[in-house]
Every structure is written in structure tokens, then in C-alpha cells.
């Protein structure tokens, strides 16, 4: 993956309360948690820095109230950060005018909301065409684009329904469709599937992956469901009380949790299904065992092989030897 | 410990009560013993003549105030002219015809729309909602107006409404949107709206009468001012209760501020806004009737004239017409609230899309062209008009001859054993003590703030010299509310526990609430003539609805699991009601009583027409004498009474809710 940052947050803070800017200044832009609480402020985001790379799916996770939504809203400038800078494609979002911001939103950003936020007085097609409508695109043209989107999200035949005539899953399809109408480059999704029941959620996740494989957007996705995060994420951000605790790939988080909080998050996961051989093997280019496994295979698939053979050789996609893995390692991994 | 506090509270209350009674019985003796007559009666020369200053100020405003290029009077004239134009147009269109010349010699250039056309338009509106019952109801109502000879007056009234409603809605919408956008403005507007809704209607009329003169335009202005506040409130509420995600979605779609407002916020809140429109319509109707006192004409004028002449038959006939008109307008506008959004049909021509409207238009033009030739079209044939006033007259005569003794003894009994003692009680308590009690109560429910409010507002009443009148208001209001609660709360309980009763009562209560307040005077005056008793009955009728509604709501909304838990514990239905449901519904019932008090106070002022001697009468006299100061000050006194009652009861209700963990 080419690492080209699409969006950069630099030391972003967001406090709620009276005149938080002065408060931060008074405390050298670095007040302690206790000071913040004592003076009656709410710390939604504390000193968050992150780079979002082009075409990656970045998932933000954390408990309720940990500041996920606020962080994303700072990125889209629905919420003004108290201090800190945000760059979108080298544009400093804090310095642009209202007009420029509207232009960016009209062409480069899309957002999906937890509770769908559909306009109840508009039909499916009118909802999806709405972002085009506010740009002043004529009815025929915008409805043609909207129809394409409707096909993309699988709602053919329902374009003239009103939101309340749709099921939850279908409603969120509309929400997704609407956010894609302007063909955004940066796509925000704030717990898009949390309000759906598990089966539909799974279906929608697949749908989402299908759409992403076709469109290749830069995605920032909030969830507090770790399974969902693992399924979708290239990288995961873990947040706690407004702080970014760790940024890393799913495997990083499981293998090298930054603190107890992250560990707790990952503890009950079926690790053998999530981690690949690569992350637990012993690196050793010279091992000579006959039985081989691929480094990208998930651990649970190779358990049997290792247990029957005692030790196996690990190879990469080009059949080059990269390491070995033995019985003890596997059992320690499975049962610790 | 806790029971100790409880006991202390009880003892304090008991003591206060005893003192009150002692003062009530021996107040005079005590006062004369200390040679302090001021305890009983606030001394005249300490009365602060606020009303005089207000009148002087307004006189200055009207005669001398200028804004540089134009004077205040120019401004009022301009506003009046602005409103006059569309009003004249509508009036000519549906009632008077287009005339040239003045008064008697006026020549009709163009006739007004035929009654057939007006009915067709209204019924088409009902048809648009696709509600058959509504169509029947509306058709019935308007045919009633024609057949029973109320057409002309109702069209005059309707013209006022057609002008007042859009203006009120638009101003209300704009103010609502502005106060949504600016918190400062919201803080300024909100208390003004509070006051506007508690100041009695007559008090509005006085300054408007002085500034704009007697006539339909003044009446329209009063109507607009009176009916607009709920629209502001509804707009603000609707906008505020929009899901923030919807707003964010609009922003993320790249809406400009204006697009956000008109493409997202306003359309999304349309259902709620329509509820506001309905309220504006109903309040306008109510006010247009009352505003006949400053020259609105129409149905209101007919009622007023007949009440003044005690012409029962005509009064009743017009009363029924108002009722019919009110119900039709209410149901029609409510139906528009509930119209489901329709699917847009694609690819059809303009003509096809608007087929119905075009047909209607052609029909009206044809009728219009025919009307000079067919008198039936122009005016509903006179010999077909039913005149019911004789019938009503006879009916009342019959009742009065045959049941006079029963009615009279009913009245006298209630007067002597119920109303008079209450009156004596309120008038007997020395004012300093009454204010003390109020302040203590305020303290108990709302600490310093509320205590201060009670103290200041009641002192205002004293220093303006209206204490005695205020006590009469209090007594009339108190006895009406007492009876209204005694009837309303059991009805509400019944509706709360019995679905069928609920349905029937809802229809009944809804209808009671749509009727303009004036209408309630008519039947009671017929049976009991004028006086406090009649006033009380009218007030009870008018103020009954909220007591029923809130009680039913409170009972129905109790968490079902609590009820189940009580049933599992073995409660009998009786126990369930008295041990669980009523206590839990109490906060809501209190709010109902609060509403009942508010309505009672507003109706009391109107009952000045049947000869009460309270603050309402003061306002009414001020109106007849066009005395702004007097009207405003006594109007404010009524408003203050209702504000005190409102704040105390609401704090009480909140205290209870807090205790039960319901908020
Ligand atoms: N407008 C606001 N005013 C005051 N406090 C706010 C506001 N918005 C958010 N907060 C506070 O900021 C903190 C972070 O909120 P945020 O909505 O970002 O959490 P979240 O991680 O998205 O939670 P959830 O999973 O429940 O959506 C919370 O403590 C919240 O109470
Ligand atoms: Mg959130």
C-alpha cells in the first residue's frame, strides 16, 4: 500500500464548556484530566494526532463517550476543534472560509449516520439525490446519477418509497447511497450498522466491503463492535476518555496491546481466527522442515498440521521460506 | 429522622392554617384594636397611579412621538392601511362584492363569489384529504350556515380569518426561526410570549383600540397578535427537536445556511409546524369573535349584540353557527396536518397533474358568470332560510316556566353554601398576611426565586389598589376550578382506565376545546341570567377540558410494569387505583389543574359581560372607556395571578416528579 496521507490531525483537542480556548491557554495547552474535570469542562478529545492514508479503511473504536464521534466531527468540521490543526489534502481545514468548506463537502466528503438521519419527507430517490440537489444540479441529471447509486446499494424498485416504508437495513442502504451520491473521496461512517440486528449487520458489512472494493475510498469508520472492526479494518484506532491509546493493525492490537484497556478490548476475541501465522512464527530463513504453511493463513487453519508434525516451515506467497512454527508456540498461543 | 421532618412540616402547615383562620375571623377586631385599618384595607393615598402614567405615556406616543421623518401615528396608520387592503379584497370577494362609492349609494361593480362557489372550494379542500367523513362534516357545516341564514356574518368572520391566519403564521414562523438562530433573541422573546399568553384578551384590545381606532382592521391586528405566540413556540420547538444527525447530514451534503433551513429544517419539521397552524386558526377564530367589541363585525358582533339585548333566540342561533364553523375549520386544518406525503407521479403533463384544480377553477368562473342572471346563485333564496331563533326563544321560555323553581333553588343553594363562603374567606384575610402566605409557599416550592416572584407580583396588585378586585377574581376562579376539578378529574380517571370511555370523552373534550370562549356564555345566560353564578358556570364549561385530559394522560402513562407488579402483589382494582395509579398520576393531574386555572382566568375576564365585579370587569370597563392605563394595569394583575399560580403549581409538580424519579 502506498502511504499517502489524505487527512492529518495534529494535536487536536476538543473541550466542552465555557470558553475552553482560554482555559487551555491558561494551562499551557496541557491541563491534567483532574483540572479539566474540576473546572467543569468535558474532555471529548485530548491531544489526538493521526494520519489517514489514501484508500485505507481506518476504524475508530472505544467505549461509549470516548470521543469517537467528536473526533470524526472535528475531521469533517461539523465540530470546531478547540485547538489543533486538521489538513485535508494539504488544505488547512481551520483556515478555509465557509464557502470553501461547503465546496469540499459538496464534492469530497460523505457521511453515514448511526440513526440513518433520512429526511422523512423525501422519497428514497429524493434522499439520495439531495446532495446533488443542493449543488444545483437539474432534476433529470441528478435522478439519473441517483438511480445508479440506488442500483449500487441494491434498492432497485424502491426509489419512490418513503423512509418509513423501509426496514432498518434498507434505510441504512439509503443513508449509504446518499453519502455516496457526490462520489466522495473521504467517507465517514459513524456506527452505521449499530442500530441493525446481527444478521442484517453481517449482510450490510459484506455489502459495504463489496462497495468499497468497487469504489476504493478513504474511509473512517466508527464502531464499538470489535468483530466488525476486525472484519473491515486496515488499521484501528482505540480511544479512551478522549485520548488515542493505540493505532495499529488488528494484529498489532492483539499481539502488542499498548495498555490494559486495549488488552481488555481484545481479550475475548477468537485470536486463532484473527491472527495469521506470520504474527506468531519464529523468524528463521533457514529452517528445513518438510511440511509447509503459508504465512498469511490464519492460525486456526494450521493448528492440526502443527500438532501432528511437531514443527512446520512457514513460506510466503512466493514459496520463499520465512520462518518456522512449533507445537509449544501454538499451544501457548491458544491457551494462555 | 425523616418522620420527624415530616411531622415538623405538618405542624408548620397546621399553624399557618390556624393563623389564617384567626385572622380571617378576628382580623377586623385586631385591626381596630391596634388602630391599624391599613391591615384590612390598603390606604387609598398610597396607591401608586401606574395606570395614569401609562395613559399619559400612550397619549404622548400617539400625539407627539416621532421617528424623525414620520410620527408614531403615521406608523400606525401605515400598518392599518397595509392590512386593510388584502382584507377589503377578501371581504369583497366572498361577502360584500366590489363596490364603488360609499355607504348607501354604493354601486356594485362586481358581485361576490356565490355561496355555491365558496362551499365548493371548501368541500374540495376536504376532498383533497381523502377523508369521507370530513367531507360530509364540512359540507354539512357550510350548508348549515346557508340554510339557517348565517351566511353573511360567517363570511365576514371567515374573511378576517383568511387574512389573520397567514399573517400570524408567517410572522410566527419568522420569529420562531430567528429565535432558533439566536439564543439572545430566544431569551428575550420567551418571557414576552409567556406574558402575552397570560394577559387577558380584553387587555390587548384596549391599546389596539386606542392606536388603531374602532373597526375591522383593529380587530384583525388584535387577532394576529393574539394568535401568533403559539406559532412562535411551535416553530422553535419543532426546530429544536430535529435530530441533530439530520442537521449534520444536511451540512455534510454541502448545504448553505439558507438551503439547510429551507430544504432540511423547515420541511422536516412540517408536521409539527402544521399543528401550530391549526392552533393559530383556532385562536384566530376565538379572537375574531371577541374582537367584535372593537369592530370586527360578523358572527361575533351578532352574539355580542344579542347578549347585550338578552335576545336569547338570535344569540343561540349565532352561537350554533360559530360552533359549526369552529368544528369545521378545526377538523379541516387537522386533516391537513395528517395528510400522508404522496408519491410524485412521473411524466404527466401539467394539465393532467392539475386536472382537479383546473376543473374547480372553471366551475367557479362559470358560476360567477351565471350569477347575475340566476338569483338562486347570487343569494340563497330567502324563503328557504330557516329561522330558528323563535324556536330557541320558546324553548328557553318553556324551561324557565316549568323548571324555574328547580333552577333557582339550585343556583341559590350553590351561591349560599359554596360560593359565598369562599368569597368571604378571600375578602376576609388581611392582605399582608395573604402575601406572607404566598411568599412562604413560594419559598417552600421554589426557594428564593419563587418567593421573590410571589412577593413582588402580589405587591404590585396591592399598590395599584386592585387587591379587592383581585380577591373577587380569585374567589370566582377558585370556586370554578374547584368544581371543574371535581368533575374533570373523575372523568379523566374514567377515561384513563376505560378505553371506550376514553374514546367518547376525547371527542367531547376536543369539541369543548375548539369552541370560542364567547359561545359558553350563551346557554348559561339563557338559563341563569347574569351574575357570579352564571359566570362560574361558563368558566367551568370552558376550563373543564384540561382537568380531564391531563388526568387521563397521567393515568394511562403509568409504566405497565408497575401496574403488573401491583397486581402480582394482590391489589384489587380499587386499591390499584387509589394506592398506585392516582399517586403516580398526581404530578400530571396537578399540571391539568394548572391549565384549568389558566383557562379559567382567561374566561373570567370574558364573563365580565355577564356582570361580575372582579378584575375582568375593570378591564372591560377600561375597554369601553378606551382607558389604556386602567386596562393594562388590571390586565397585568390578572396575568400576575396566573403567573403566580402557574409557577407554584409547576414547581410542586416537578418536586413530586423528582421525588418519584420521573424526570
Ligand atoms: N455538544 C456537546 N456538549 C457537551 N458535551 C458533549 C457534546 N458532544 C459530546 N459531548 C461529550 O463528549 C464526550 C465524547 O462524546 P462522543 O459523542 O464523541 O462519544 P462517542 O465515543 O461517539 O460515544 P458513543 O459510542 O456513545 O457514540 C462525551 O462525554 C459527551 O458527553
Ligand atoms: Mg458516537
CA of B347 to the centre of ligand 2 (A): 42
User: pLDDT tens digit string along A215-245?
Assistant: 889 999 999 888 888 888 999 999 999 999 9
The verdict on A137 and A195 lying in the same domain is yes
User: pLDDT tens digit string along B475-509?
Assistant: 999 999 999 999 999 999 999 888 898 899 988 88
pLDDT given at position B200 = 80
Q: Tell me whether residue A148 is in a domain.
A: yes
Q: Give CA–CA dist B649/A289, Å, rounded.
A: 86
pLDDT given at position B622 = 86
CA of A64 to the centre of ligand 2 (A): 7
pLDDT given at position B39 = 67
Q: Tell me whether residue A7 is in a domain.
A: no
* CA distance to partner chain A, nearest, from residue B288 (Å): 34
CA-nearest of A274, A273, A290 to A324 is A290
Q: Give CA–CA dist A170/A168, Å, rounded.
A: 5
Q: Give CA–CA dist B558/B578, Å, rounded.
A: 13
Q: Which residues of A touch B252 (CB under 8 A)?
A: 76, 78, 105, 109-111, 179, 188
Q: Tell me whether residue A152 is in a domain.
A: yes
The verdict on A244 and A319 lying in the same domain is no
Per-residue pLDDT for B338 more than 80?
no
With H, G, I as helix, E, B as strand and everything else as coil, classify residue B371: coil
- How are beta strands A235-240 and A292-294 bridged, if at all? unpaired
User: pLDDT tens digit string along B288-308?
Assistant: 888 888 888 889 899 888 888
pLDDT given at position B347 = 64
The verdict on A123 and A213 lying in the same domain is yes
Spell out the residues 6+ positions from residue A14 whose beta carbon is closer than 8 angstroms to its own. A43, A44, A45, A67, A70, A71, A74, A79, A81, A82, A242
| Contact (Cβ atoms closer than 8 angstroms) between residue A84 and residue A10 | yes
Q: Where are the alpha helices (DSSP H) in chain A?
A: 20-26, 33-38, 68-75, 98-107, 124-134, 139-152, 168-180, 198-215, 226-232, 250-255, 260-267, 271-274, 299-309, 327-335
User: pLDDT tens digit string along B4-26?
Assistant: 666 777 787 788 788 877 777 77
Q: What are phi and psi of B637, to 5 degrees?
A: -60, -45
> Which cell numbers hold the place of B609?
359581560
User: pLDDT tens digit string along A15-70?
Assistant: 999 999 999 989 888 888 888 999 889 999 999 999 999 999 999 999 899 999 99
| CB pair distance less than 8 Å for A78 and B343 | no
CA of A167 to the centre of ligand 1 (A): 28
CA of A24 to the centre of ligand 1 (A): 19
pLDDT given at position A197 = 84
Q: Give CA–CA dist A116/A190, Å, rounded.
A: 10
The verdict on A307 and A217 lying in the same domain is no
Q: Which residues of A touch B251 (CB under 8 A)?
A: 78, 105
The verdict on A224 and A114 lying in the same domain is yes
Spell out the residues 6+ positions from residue B278 whose beta carbon is closer than 8 angstroms to its own. B330, B333, B334, B337
User: pLDDT tens digit string along A100-143?
Assistant: 988 999 899 999 988 888 888 888 999 999 999 888 899 999 99
Which H/E stretch holds residue A236? strand A235-240
The verdict on A59 and A198 lying in the same domain is yes
Report, in angstroms and rounded to the nearest whole number, the Rg of chain B calculated over CA atoms: 27
With H, G, I as helix, E, B as strand and everything else as coil, classify residue A69: helix
Per-residue pLDDT for B126 more than 70?
yes
> Which cell numbers hold the place of B41?
384595607
| CB pair distance less than 8 Å for A115 and B268 | no
| CB pair distance less than 8 Å for B251 and A110 | no
The verdict on A113 and A252 lying in the same domain is yes
Per-residue pLDDT for B1 more than 60?
no
ipTM above 0.85, yes or no: no
Q: Tell me whether residue A222 is in a domain.
A: yes
Per-residue pLDDT for B463 more than 60?
yes
pLDDT given at position A2 = 54
pLDDT given at position B238 = 92
| CB pair distance less than 8 Å for A121 and B264 | no
The preferred substitution site among A12, A15, A37, A66 for testing ligand 1, maximizing ligand atoms within 8 Å of CB, is A66
Q: Which residues of B touch A102 (CB under 8 A)?
A: 254-256
Picking from A271, A292, A308, the residue at the C-terminal end of a domain is: A271
Q: Where are the alpha helices (DSSP H) in B415-466?
A: 420-428, 431-463
In chain B, which residues fall in CATH 1.10.3720.10?
70-102+116-339, 396-428+464-659
User: pLDDT tens digit string along B273-282?
Assistant: 988 998 899 8
With H, G, I as helix, E, B as strand and everything else as coil, classify residue B180: helix
Q: Tell me whether residue A307 is in a domain.
A: yes
The secondary structure of A237-295 as a DSSP string is: EEEETTEEEEEE-HHHHHHS-SSHHHHHHHHTS-HHHH-BGGGTSEE-TT---S-EEET
Per-residue pLDDT for B115 more than 50?
yes
Q: Give CA–CA dist A119/B263, Å, rounded.
A: 10
Q: Give CA–CA dist A202/A169, Å, rounded.
A: 11
Picking from A235, A251, A271, the residue at the C-terminal end of a domain is: A271
With H, G, I as helix, E, B as strand and everything else as coil, classify residue A58: strand
The verdict on A299 and A163 lying in the same domain is no
Q: Give CA–CA dist B509/B496, Å, rounded.
A: 14
The secondary structure of B216-272 as a DSSP string is: HHHHHHHHHHHHSHHHHHHHHHHHHTS-HHHHHHHHHTT--HHHIIIIIIHHHTHHH
Q: Give CA–CA dist B56/B630, Å, rounded.
A: 11
Q: Tell me whether residue A37 is in a domain.
A: no
CATH superfamily, region B70-102+116-339: MetI-like (1.10.3720.10)
CATH code of the domain containing A328: 3.90.1280.20
Q: Give CA–CA dist B452/B458, Å, rounded.
A: 10
| Contact (Cβ atoms closer than 8 angstroms) between residue A288 and residue A268 | no
| CB pair distance less than 8 Å for A73 and B246 | no
Q: How far apart are the first and last CA of chain A?
A: 33
Q: Give CA–CA dist A142/A135, Å, rounded.
A: 10
Q: Is the CB of A44 under 6 A from ligand 1?
A: yes
User: pLDDT tens digit string along A280-321?
Assistant: 888 888 778 888 888 888 888 888 888 888 888 988 888 888
What does the DSSP 8-state code read for residue B47? -
Number of domains in chain A: 2
Rounded to two decimals, the pTM is 0.82
Number of Cβ within 10 Å of residue B590's Cβ equals 20
pLDDT given at position B184 = 92
- How are beta strands A218-222 and A57-62 bridged, if at all? parallel
The chain B residue lying nearest A103, using CA atoms, is: B254
| Residues present in chain A in total | 336
Can you give the residue range of the structural domain that contains A125?
54-84+93-271
Q: Which residues of A touch B264 (CB under 8 A)?
A: 119
The verdict on A240 and A131 lying in the same domain is yes
Which H/E stretch holds residue A313? strand A311-315
User: pLDDT tens digit string along B368-400?
Assistant: 777 777 777 677 777 777 777 788 888 888 888
Percent of residues, chain B, with pLDDT higher than 90: 24
CA angle B73, B78, B82 (to 5 degrees): 150
CA of A17 to the centre of ligand 1 (A): 13
With H, G, I as helix, E, B as strand and everything else as coil, classify residue A49: strand
The chain B residue lying nearest A100, using CA atoms, is: B254
Q: What is the architecture of the domain spanning B396-428+464-659?
A: Orthogonal Bundle (1.10)
* CA distance to partner chain A, nearest, from residue B499 (Å): 28
Q: Give CA–CA dist B476/B222, Å, rounded.
A: 27
| Residues present in chain B in total | 663
Report, in angstroms and rounded to the nearest whole number, the Rg of chain A calculated over CA atoms: 23
Q: Is the CB of A66 under 6 A from ligand 1?
A: yes
Q: Name the residue with the closest Cα to ligand 1, atom 7.
A: A16
| CB pair distance less than 8 Å for A113 and B267 | no
The chain A residue lying nearest B345, using CA atoms, is: A160
Q: Is the CB of A69 under 6 A from ligand 1?
A: yes
Per-residue pLDDT for B2 more than 60?
no
The verdict on A105 and A226 lying in the same domain is yes
The preferred substitution site among A70, A220, A244 for testing ligand 1, maximizing ligand atoms within 8 Å of CB, is A70
Q: Tell me whether residue A154 is in a domain.
A: yes
Return the ligand 1 atom nearest residue A191 CA. 27
Which of A115, A120, A188 faces B245 most closely, judged by CB atoms? Answer: A115
pLDDT average, residue stretch B318-338: 87
Range in A86-90, A233-237, B40-44, B418-422 with the lowest mean pLDDT? B40-44
The verdict on A67 and A129 lying in the same domain is yes
CATH code of the domain containing A63: 3.40.50.300
* CA distance to partner chain B, nearest, from residue A148 (Å): 18
Per-residue pLDDT for A1 more than 50?
no
The verdict on A316 and A231 lying in the same domain is no
CA of B442 to the centre of ligand 1 (A): 38
Number of Cβ within 10 Å of residue B12's Cβ equals 12
Mean model confidence pLDDT for chain B: 85
Which H/E stretch holds residue B336? helix B312-337
Range in A131-140, B190-199, B348-357, B554-563 with the lowest mean pLDDT? B348-357
With H, G, I as helix, E, B as strand and everything else as coil, classify residue A195: coil
CA angle B621, B619, B193 (to 5 degrees): 155
pLDDT average, residue stretch B52-77: 78
CA-nearest of A176, A59, A56 to A112 is A176
| CB pair distance less than 8 Å for A105 and B254 | yes
Ligand nearest to the CA of A72: 1
Which of B252, B270, B343 faces A76 most closely, judged by CB atoms? Answer: B252
Q: Is the CB of A171 under 6 A from ligand 1?
A: no
Q: Tell me whether residue A163 is in a domain.
A: yes
Range in A68-82, B130-144, B336-350, B605-619 with the lowest mean pLDDT? B336-350
With H, G, I as helix, E, B as strand and everything else as coil, classify residue A81: coil
Amino acid at each position: 500500500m502506498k502511504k499517502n496521507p489524505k487527512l492529518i490531525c495534529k494535536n487536536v483537542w476538543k473541550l466542552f464548556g465555557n470558553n475552553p480556548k482560554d482555559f487551555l491557554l491558561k494551562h499551557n495547552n496541557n491541563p491534567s484530566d483532574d483540572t479539566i474535570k474540576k473546572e467543569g469542562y468535558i474532555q471529548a478529545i485530548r491531544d489526538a494526532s493521526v494520519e489517514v492514508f489514501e484508500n485505507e479503511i481506518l476504524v475508530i473504536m472505544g467505549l461509549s463517550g470516548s470521543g469517537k464521534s467528536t473526533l470524526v466531527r472535528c475531521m469533517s468540521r461539523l465540530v470546531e476543534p478547540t485547538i489543533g490543526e486538521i489538513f485535508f489534502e494539504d488544505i488547512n481545514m481551520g483556515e478555509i472560509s465557509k464557502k470553501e468548506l461547503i465546496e469540499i463537502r459538496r464534492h469530497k466528503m460523505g457521511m453515514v449516520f448511526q440513526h440513518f438521519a433520512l429526511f422523512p419527507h423525501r422519497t428514497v430517490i429524493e434522499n439520495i439525490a439531495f446532495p446533488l440537489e443542493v449543488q444545483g444540479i437539474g432534476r433529470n441529471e441528478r435522478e439519473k446519477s441517483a438511480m445508479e447509486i440506488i442500483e449500487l446499494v441494491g434498492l432497485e424498485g424502491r426509489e419512490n418509497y418513503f423512509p418509513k416504508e423501509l426496514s432498518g437495513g434498507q434505510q441504512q442502504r439509503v443513508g449509504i447511497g446518499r453519502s455516496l451520491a457526490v462520489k466522495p473521496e473521504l467517507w465517514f461512517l459513524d456506527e452505521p450498522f449499530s442500530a441493525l440486528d446481527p444478521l442484517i449487520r453481517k449482510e450490510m458489512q459484506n455489502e459495504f466491503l463489496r462497495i468499497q472494493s468497487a469504489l476504493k475510498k478513504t474511509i473512517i469508520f466508527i464502531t464499538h463492535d470489535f468483530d466488525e472492526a476486525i472484519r473491515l479494518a486496515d488499521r484501528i484506532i482505540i480511544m479512551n476518555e478522549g485520548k488515542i491509546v493505540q493505532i495499529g493493525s488488528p494484529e498489532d492490537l492483539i499481539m502488542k496491546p499498548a495498555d490494559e484497556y486495549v488488552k481488555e478490548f481484545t481479550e475475548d476475541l477468537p485470536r486463532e481466527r484473527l491472527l495469521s501465522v506470520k504474527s506468531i512464527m519464529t523468524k528463521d530463513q533457514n529452517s528445513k522442515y518438510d511440511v509447509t504453511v503459508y504465512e498469511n493463513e490464519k492460525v486456526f487453519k494450521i493448528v492440526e498440521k502443527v500438532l501432528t508434525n511437531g514443527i512446520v516451515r512457514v513460506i510466503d506467497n512466493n514459496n520463499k521460506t520465512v520462518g518456522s512454527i512449533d507445537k509449544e508456540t501454538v499451544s501457548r498461543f491458544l491457551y494462555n | 429522622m425523616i418522620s420527624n421532618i415530616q411531622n415538623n412540616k405538618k405542624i408548620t402547615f397546621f399553624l399557618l392554617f390556624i393563623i389564617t383562620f384567626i385572622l380571617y375571623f378576628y382580623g377586623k377586631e385586631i385591626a381596630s384594636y391596634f388602630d391599624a385599618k391599613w391591615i384590612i384595607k390598603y390606604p387609598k393615598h398610597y396607591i401608586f397611579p401606574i395606570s395614569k402614567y401609562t395613559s399619559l405615556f400612550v397619549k404622548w406616543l400617539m400625539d407627539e412621538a416621532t421617528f424623525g421623518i414620520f410620527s408614531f401615528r403615521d406608523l400606525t396608520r401605515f400598518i392599518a392601511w397595509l392590512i386593510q387592503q388584502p382584507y377589503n379584497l377578501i371581504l369583497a370577494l366572498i361577502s360584500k362584492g366590489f363596490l364603488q362609492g360609499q355607504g348607501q349609494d354604493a354601486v356594485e361593480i362586481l358581485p361576490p363569489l356565490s355561496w355555491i362557489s365558496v362551499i365548493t372550494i371548501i368541500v374540495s379542500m376536504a376532498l383533497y384529504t381523502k377523508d369521507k367523513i370530513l367531507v360530509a362534516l364540512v359540507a354539512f357545516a357550510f350548508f348549515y350556515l346557508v340554510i339557517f341564514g348565517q351566511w353573511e356574518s360567517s363570511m365576514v368572520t371567515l374573511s378576517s380569518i383568511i387574512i389573520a391566519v397567514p399573517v400570524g403564521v408567517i410572522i410566527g414562523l419568522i420569529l420562531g426561526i430567528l429565535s432558533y438562530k439566536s439564543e439572545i433573541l430566544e431569551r428575550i422573546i420567551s418571557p414576552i410570549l409567556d406574558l402575552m399568553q397570560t394577559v387577558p384578551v380584553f387587555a390587548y384590545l384596549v391599546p389596539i383600540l386606542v392606536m388603531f381606532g374602532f373597526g375591522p382592521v383593529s380587530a384583525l391586528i388584535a387577532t394576529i397578535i393574539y394568535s401568533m405566540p403559539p406559532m412562535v413556540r411551535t416553530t422553535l420547538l419543532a426546530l429544536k427537536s430535529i435530530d441533530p444527525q439530520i442537521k449534520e447530514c444536511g451540512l455534510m451534503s454541502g448545504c448553505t445556511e439558507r438551503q439547510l433551513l429551507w430544504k432540511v429544517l423547515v420541511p422536516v419539521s412540517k408536521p409539527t409546524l402544521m399543528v401550530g397552524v391549526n392552533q393559530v386558526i383556532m385562536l384566530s377564530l376565538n379572537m375574531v369573535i371577541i374582537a367584535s367589541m372593537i369592530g370586527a363585525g360578523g358572527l361575533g358582533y351578532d352574539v355580542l349584540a344579542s347578549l347585550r339585548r338578552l335576545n336569547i333566540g338570535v344569540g343561540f342561533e349565532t352561537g350554533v353557527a360559530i360552533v359549526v364553523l369552529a368544528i369545521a375549520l378545526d377538523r379541516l386544518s387537522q386533516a391537513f396536518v395528517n395528510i400522508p406525503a404522496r408519491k410524485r407521479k412521473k411524466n404527466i403533463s401539467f394539465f393532467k397533474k392539475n386536472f382537479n384544480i383546473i376543473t374547480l377553477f372553471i366551475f367557479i368562473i362559470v358560476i360567477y358568470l351565471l350569477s347575475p342572471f340566476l338569483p338562486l346563485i347570487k343569494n340563497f333564496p330567502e324563503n328557504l332560510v330557516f329561522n330558528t331563533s323563535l324556536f330557541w326563544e320558546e324553548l328557553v321560555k318553556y324551561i324557565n316556566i316549568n323548571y324555574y323553581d328547580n333552577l333557582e333553588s339550585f343556583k341559590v343553594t350553590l351561591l349560599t353554601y359554596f360560593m359565598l363562603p369562599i368569597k368571604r374567606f378571600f375578602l376576609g384575610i388581611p392582605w399582608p398576611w395573604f402575601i406572607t402566605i404566598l411568599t412562604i409557599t413560594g419559598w417552600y416550592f421554589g426557594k428564593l426565586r419563587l418567593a421573590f416572584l410571589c412577593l413582588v407580583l402580589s405587591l404590585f396588585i396591592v399598590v395599584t389598589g386592585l387587591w379587592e378586585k383581585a380577591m373577587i377574581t380569585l374567589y370566582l376562579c377558585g370556586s370554578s376550578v374547584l368544581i371543574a376539578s371535581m368533575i374533570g378529574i373523575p372523568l379523566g380517571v374514567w377515561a384513563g382506565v376505560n378505553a371506550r370511555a376514553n374514546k367518547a370523552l376525547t371527542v367531547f373534550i376536543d369539541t369543548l376545546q375548539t369552541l370560542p370562549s364567547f359561545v359558553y356564555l350563551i346557554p348559561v345566560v339563557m338559563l341563569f341570567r347574569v351574575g357570579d353564578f352564571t359566570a362560574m358556570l361558563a368558566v367551568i364549561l370552558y376550563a373543564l377540558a384540561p382537568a380531564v385530559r391531563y388526568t387521563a394522560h397521567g393515568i394511562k402513562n403509568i409504566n405497565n410494569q408497575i401496574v403488573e407488579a401491583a397486581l402480582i402483589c394482590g391489589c384489587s382494582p380499587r386499591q390499584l387505583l387509589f394506592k398506585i395509579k392516582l399517586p403516580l398520576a398526581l404530578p400530571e393531574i396537578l399540571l391539568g389543574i394548572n391549565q384549568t386555572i389558566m383557562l379559567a382566568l382567561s374566561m373570567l375576564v370574558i364573563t365580565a359581560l355577564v356582570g361580575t365585579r372582579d378584575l375582568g370587569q375593570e378591564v372591560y370597563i377600561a375597554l369601553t372607556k378606551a382607558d389604556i392605563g386602567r386596562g393594562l394595569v388590571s390586565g397585568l394583575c390578572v396575568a400576575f395571578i396566573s403567573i403566580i399560580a402557574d409557577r407554584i403549581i409547576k414547581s410542586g409538580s416537578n418536586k413530586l416528579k423528582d421525588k418519584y424519579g420521573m424526570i
